[in-house]
Amino acid sequence: MSGATVYRERVLHEIDALPEEYLPFVLQLVQTFRESIALKEAAASFKQGWHEAQTGHIAPLKDLWDGIDAD
């Protein structure tokens, strides 16, 4: 059995052990996690950025740091 299969079975076992009323929260958690780690292909990302730059959808570099705590 591959490592991925073992993890899949363990995750599914844990989900099966949860009360049904918690499943919507688990679903939301898994979807949010998956979306946060999914990266666009480099070409698609560049194409979007190039389009934004050409159409004036830009922000000054200094503004990109607003709200970021560098401590």
Query: 3-class DSSP state for residue 11?
Result: helix
Q: Give pLDDT tens digits for 3-57.
A: 889 999 999 999 999 999 999 999 999 999 888 877 767 778 888 889 999 999 8
Distance CA 62, CA 59 (A): 8
pTM above 0.75, yes or no: no
Output the six-digit token pair for 43. 């070409």
Contact present, 58 and 50 (Cβ < 8 Å): no
**Which is higher by pLDDT, 19 or 69?**
19
Q: What is the pLDDT of residue 9?
A: 95
Band of the pLDDT at 71, cuts 50, 70, 90?
low
Distance CA 43, CA 47 (A): 6
Q: What is the pLDDT of residue 30?
A: 93
